[in-house]
Amino acid sequence: MSQTFLPPKWLEQLCDPFAVLGISVTADDRQLLKRYHTLAKLLHPDGQTKSSNPDQKLATAIFSHLINPAYEQLKNQHKRFNAIAMLLSQARVIKQALSSDAITEEIRQMSAPEAELFYEEAIACYAEAQYKSLHQFYQVTQQINILNLAYLQLHKPYLSLPEEPLPIISQVEVKPVELTLSEKTNVKPVLKNYAQRHYERAIEYTKLTNWTLAVRELRDAIKLEPNNSDYHALLGFVHLQQKLLGMARVYITQALKLNPQDSLALKCASRLKIKPGENPNPKSIAKALSIAALLGGFRDGKRSQVKC
């Protein structure tokens, strides 16, 4: 099949192999191979039937002329560094244009760890939708490319590359990138509150009565958002279920201090016989919270991590 079956601009502009495959620029060999196998099952001509995929020719063309070359490029370590260097160069050239992109602005306001998590989750979100509709494939892939460029520009501007010169870089033509794709596609990464994510997991573990994992998730949530009464209330409830009444009392008291109307905390307070309006000295509650966290560390078998 000739390449002319694909729209010319696809072959011209989809030059980011990471975006074509729907993986991050930090993906390792295992992730690369896993994604390639997933796409092979989905698009390879041997697995296509007219009944299962009315766009068989388009799927085969994408796999043969875009996915295969991208995979061949990235599985070679030297070529992979070339690809990253090309993207770094492109990110510097279109720096001003990227600054107006909504996703770039979100990443700009994040710390490096938050950006790492957001970037990986956004890539996963786009990758899930990338090949569901082959006619939307171009827009989604271009948006992944913009995400890659924004991430490299803001958080990896001096990404470590091999000391050996890469002459191919000087020969690469930097192609323009469309920056209005968010208006053309409904596929958008979901901006997550990472403390909330821990809290949601804790709720699921609580439903399963897996108290140990629920405690672990809630501690992580509280580290990120120490003033959220919901997190303290649920942790107090979990400790109550574990019959750790002292620790339960500490967290329920803190939850009510943060929000006197917290419904879960009020229910637990009645069982713990915490008086309405009871509000310990701030220093004593802080000390109690520290002790509760320390005791929890011993219970989780993490004594070796506690420095006396």
**pLDDT value, residue 174:** 44
**pLDDT value, residue 276:** 65
**pLDDT value, residue 48:** 52
**pLDDT value, residue 224:** 85
**pLDDT value, residue 228:** 93
The domains of the chain are located at 3-183, 194-303
Please calculate the CA angle 45-49-51 and round it to the nearest 5 degrees: 150
**pLDDT value, residue 74:** 95
**pLDDT value, residue 238:** 92
pTM of the model: 0.52
**pLDDT value, residue 258:** 92
**pLDDT value, residue 308:** 25
**pLDDT value, residue 302:** 39
**CA dist., res. 245 & res. 251, Å (int):** 10
For 264-283, what is each residue's pLDDT tens digit?
A: 999 999 888 887 665 544 44
* CATH for 194-303, options being 1.20.140.10, 1.25.40.10, 3.40.640.10, 1.10.8.10: 1.25.40.10
**CA dist., res. 282 & res. 284, Å (int):** 5
Among 172, 130, 126, residue whose Cα is nearest residue 150: 126
Between 245-258 and 282-299, two packed helices, what is the crossing angle to 10 degrees? 140
Per-residue pLDDT of the chain (308 residues; tens, 9 = 90+): 344 466 676 776 688 999 999 999 988 899 999 999 999 988 876 655 544 455 788 888 888 889 999 999 999 988 998 899 888 888 877 776 666 666 677 777 777 777 777 888 888 888 888 888 887 888 889 889 888 888 888 766 555 444 444 344 444 444 444 444 444 445 555 545 788 888 988 998 888 888 888 888 898 888 888 899 999 999 999 989 988 888 888 889 989 999 999 999 999 998 888 876 655 444 444 444 544 454 444 344 433 232 32
